[in-house]
Amino acid sequence: MCTLESKETVIVLAGTKWQIPLVKKLKEKGYKVVVFNLLPDSPAFSYADAYHIVDILNYEACLKAAAEYAPNAFMSDECDIAVPPVAYLSEKMGLISIGTKMSKLYTNKYEMRVFGQKHGFDTPAFFKCDIIDEAIQTFRAFGKKMIMKPMDANSSRGVYSIACEKDIAEHFADTVGFSKTEKSVLLEEYIEGTEFTVDGIKTEKGHISLAISEKRHYAYNENIACSLYFSYKNDRFDYEKLRSINDRFVELSGLPFGLTHAEYKYRKGKFYLIEIGARGGGNLISASIVPLVTGVDTYDYLIDKSLGKKCKEEISILKEYQERCAILKFFDVGIAEGIVKEIRGKEYLNKNRNIVEYAIYCKEGDRIVNAADDSKRIGFYIAYGEDRKELDAVIHETEQAFQIIVE
What's the pLDDT at 110? 93
In DSSP notation, 290-320 reads HHHHH---HHHHHHHHHTT----------GG
In DSSP notation, 339-379 reads EEEEEE-HHHHHH-TTEEEEEE---TT-EEE--SSGGG--E
Given this structure, which CATH class describes domain 125-189?
alpha beta
What's the pLDDT at 140? 96
What's the pLDDT at 182? 80
What's the pLDDT at 58? 96
What's the pLDDT at 373? 81
In DSSP notation, 162-210 reads ESSHHHHHHHHHHHHHT-SSS--EEEEE---SEEEEEEEEEETTEEEEE
What's the pLDDT at 2? 35
Domain boundaries, the chain: 7-97, 125-189, 193-321, 323-407
Fold of the CATH domain 7-97 = Rossmann fold (3.40.50)
What sign for the dihedral angle of Cα 235, 237, 240, 246? negative
- CATH number of this structure's domain 193-321: 3.30.470.20
What's the pLDDT at 4? 45
Low-confidence ranges of the chain (pLDDT < 50): 1-4
What's the pLDDT at 5? 55
What's the pLDDT at 155? 65
Does domain 323-407 fall into CATH 3.30.470.20?
yes
Domains 7-97 and 323-407 belong to one CATH topology: no
What's the pLDDT at 3? 39
Inter-CA distances, 80 with 158, 341, 381, Å: 15, 36, 23
Inter-CA distances, 214 with 64, 191, 197, 384, Å: 43, 15, 7, 15
State how far the Cα of 244 lies from the Cα of 37, in Å rounded to an integer.
37
